[in-house]
């Protein structure tokens, strides 16, 4: 089960300002914005004490008045906390017993599938295959926890940069227990129900397979497989008629048709669903690229990543918070304990413990009261750090919540030596002396320093060539003008053989190179272009054996980690050298550092891999070259 929904209507409505009837806190979580609303309740953005964004789903009060709903809701929360799949949003906190039940899940910065299709149209086939394969993996974990989703639909699938996230699993089961579903409150979307669900028969994991087929058809065509219209008309077609799949691409036809079988026993298993995705396009499914979504959808992910922090709250009361579960603030200013200690009865993981105030280092502006207004610290999982003499310093993180960093342990540092000798402190001016005496003393000190400096310079000026080649003196200080150097100067700098920091070569960029197997690149060429040949001491070649090869004497490659951003400094520092990098280890966005025997450094970024139906085998690469930049051995 999850509780996250995304807003509709474009990025301008992603984070909606809290209205007068919205709460400012929920069980201590300070709310930053409204993310959406549905038949079960409203969804808000908040933060954990560590500054991680979370989605808070506040259940409608009408459901909270139903004892059977609360019982089932608590059961589904316990089951959901066992779901830890890569393609689900984990439940991290909840309170089924609160005045209004609520739950918190990890915030996913991505639009829902429904929003993406409405705003940008149907998705490409390759994207749909990756989408369905990820959803199948999510359902495998959900079903393994004993949960049937029951409400799998486009608005319950979020599109993240690394794949889909299935949310709200199991919550419809709790809603089935309340009489509200028969009095105007609709839970579940008719267009994505299974025949047995629409007819009121037994619901099984195969019910989710039917919904998976409907979601796939919707993603590929932009319309539901059984059409739109009144709920009764749609449900009738689901039970008695066949879906309209004329617009479904051929590569998806078998997958969607088998999932939409009327008989639950005739539908494929989740393992078969993944196999069908692999057969339709194995290269895409087996290698999940970072740009699996169209560019317009990816842009929305960037917009949603800039989550706003909550507004500051009024100072807390002067009296200490009372023990027990802090009450949920539904309107107006927060309750005494609000902002300090969200609780999670029976939760597998909760950011706080019952009646435990957050530490004084809770991120100001994101969770808890402003800095300097915290209640007295108490013991608990988030108890305060050991006291130190130095204050706590806070640092902003990308415009989001400000994270506090613990003070440095140990005694206070010795003040920086005052001129005249190590460890000396700046002398305080004597209160009994007049201005003339002070001026005389200062003049004497300056004269002594000038004479001593000139003397030292005259003694050492002939020894400038004896300094070490790296510019370090005997005490480890730099003599090129850097801090820590002790060589006196008189209007100039001490001799140094260390090059300045601005001598790094400028990068030369070559975009969109299609390097065919059997060809090579020479990074020293003014125009880096593929040349025929894969053997013969080349600097970088694409061997027909399926790998990139560094053959030149002294040449090497380093495959950077996924997500690691390459640069001149990174390529100079990396030492995980190899001569070959096989293409099956590469994916779109992966980077390789190249060092040539002639002293050049290169950064290769994979932008594409030739499809299986291409008449040639090639890699599309962006290449950045820093000539004569390799570190000398």
Task: Count the helix, strand and coil residues of the chain and give each as a percent rounded to the nearest 5.
Answer: 30, 15, 55
Residue with tokens 């930049």: 629
Single out the catalytic residue among 93, 151, 208, 543.
Answer: 151
Angle at 94 between CA 4 and CA 108, to 5 degrees: 25
pLDDT of residue 287: 60
Domains of the chain, earliest start first: 1-107+335-382+395-408 (3.30.200.20), 110-306 (1.10.510.10), 504-626 (no CATH)
Mean pLDDT per segment of 10 residues, for the chain of length 633 residues? 46 76 91 86 90 91 85 84 88 88 91 93 94 95 90 93 88 55 51 91 94 97 92 93 95 96 96 92 62 86 76 47 41 36 38 37 38 40 40 38 38 38 40 50 55 49 42 39 39 39 83 94 92 89 91 89 87 92 85 92 92 85 93 60
- C-alpha distances (whole Å) from 166 to each of 7, 54, 76, 151, 200 are 16, 15, 15, 10, 24
pTM: 0.50
**Structure-block tokens of residue 430:** 């004597």
171, HSE (Cβ side, Cα atoms, 13 Å): 28
DSSP code of residue 486: -
Output the CA–CA distances (angstroms, integers) from residue 546 to 216, 279, 393, in the order listed: 34, 22, 52
Model pLDDT, residue 435: 52
Give the bridge partners for 163, in sequence order. 160
The pLDDT of residue 134: 94
- CB-neighbour burial class of residue 179 (10 A; exposed 0-12, middle 13-18, buried 19+): exposed
Residue 83 pLDDT? 87
Q: What is the pLDDT of residue 386?
A: 42
Q: Is 535 a catalytic residue?
A: no
């Amino acid at each position: 089960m999850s509780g996250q929904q995304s807003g509709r209507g474009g990025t301008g409505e992603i984070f909606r300002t809290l209205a007068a009837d919205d709460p400012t806190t929920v069980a201590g979580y300070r709310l930053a914005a409204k993310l959406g609303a549905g038949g079960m309740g409203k969804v808000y953005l908040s933060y954990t004490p560590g500054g991680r964004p979370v989605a808070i789903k506040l259940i409608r009060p009408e459901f909270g008045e139903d004892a059977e709903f609360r019982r089932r809701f608590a059961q589904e929360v316990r089951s959901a906390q066992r779901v830890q799949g890569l393609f689900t949003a984990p439940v991290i906190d909840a309170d089924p017993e609160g005045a209004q039940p609520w739950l918190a899940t990890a915030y996913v910065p991505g639009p829902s599938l429904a929003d993406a299709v409405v705003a940008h149209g149907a998705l490409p086939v390759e994207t749909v295959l990756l989408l369905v394969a990820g959803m199948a993996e999510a359902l495998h974990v959900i079903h393994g926890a004993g949960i049937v989703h029951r409400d799998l639909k486009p608005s319950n699938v979020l599109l993240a940069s690394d794949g889909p996230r299935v949310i709200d699993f199991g919550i419809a089961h709790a809603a089935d227990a309340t009489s509200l579903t028969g009095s105007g409150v609709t839970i579940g979307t008719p267009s994505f129900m299974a025949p047995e669900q629409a007819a009121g028969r037994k619901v099984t994991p195969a019910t989710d397979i039917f919904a998976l087929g409907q979601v796939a058809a919707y993603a590929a065509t932009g319309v539901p497989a059984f059409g739109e219209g009144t709920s009764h008309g749609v449900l009738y077609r689901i039970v008695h008629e066949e879906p309209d799949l004329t617009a479904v691409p051929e590569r998806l036809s078998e997958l969607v048709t088998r999932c939409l079988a009327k008989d639950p026993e005739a539908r494929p298993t989740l393992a078969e669903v993944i196999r069908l995705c692999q057969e339709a396009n194995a290269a895409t499914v087996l290698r999940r690229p970072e740009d699996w979504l169209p560019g317009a959808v990816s842009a929305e992910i960037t917009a949603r990543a800039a989550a706003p922090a909550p507004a500051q709250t009024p100072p807390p009361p002067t009296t200490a918070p009372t023990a027990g579960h802090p009450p949920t603030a539904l309107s107006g200013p927060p309750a005494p304990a609000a902002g300090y200690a969200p609780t999670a009865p029976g939760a597998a993981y909760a950011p706080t413990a019952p009646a435990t105030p957050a530490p004084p280092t809770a991120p100001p502006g994101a969770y808890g009261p402003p800095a300097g207004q915290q209640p007295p610290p108490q013991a608990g999982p988030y108890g305060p750090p050991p006291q130190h003499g130095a204050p706590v310093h806070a640092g902003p993180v990308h415009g989001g919540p400000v994270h506090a960093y613990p003070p440095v342990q140990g005694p206070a540092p010795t003040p920086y030596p005052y001129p005249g000798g190590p460890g000396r402190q700046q002398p305080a001016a004597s209160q009994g002396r007049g201005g003339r005496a002070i001026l005389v003393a200062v003049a004497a000190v300056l004269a002594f320093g000038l004479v001593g400096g000139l003397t030292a310079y005259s003694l050492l000026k002939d020894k400038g060539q004896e300094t070490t080649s790296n510019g370090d003196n005997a005490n480890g200080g730099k003599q090129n003008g850097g801090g820590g150097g002790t060589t006196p100067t008189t209007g100039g700098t001490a001799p140094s053989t260390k090059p300045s920091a601005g001598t790094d070569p400028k990068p030369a960029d070559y975009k969109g190179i299609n390097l065919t197997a059997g060809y090579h690149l020479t990074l020293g060429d003014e125009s880096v272009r593929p040349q025929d040949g894969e053997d013969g001491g080349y600097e970088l070649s694409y061997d027909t054996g399926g790998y990139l090869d560094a053959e030149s004497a002294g040449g090497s490659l380093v495959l950077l980690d996924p997500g690691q951003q390459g640069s001149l400094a990174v390529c100079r520092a990396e030492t995980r050298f190899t001569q070959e990098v096989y293409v099956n280890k590469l994916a779109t966005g992966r980077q390789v550092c190249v060092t040539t025997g002639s002293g050049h450094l290169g950064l290769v970024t994979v932008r594409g891999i030739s499809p299986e139906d291409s008449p040639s085998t090639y890699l599309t690469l962006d290449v950045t070259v820093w000539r004569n930049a390799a570190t000398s051995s």
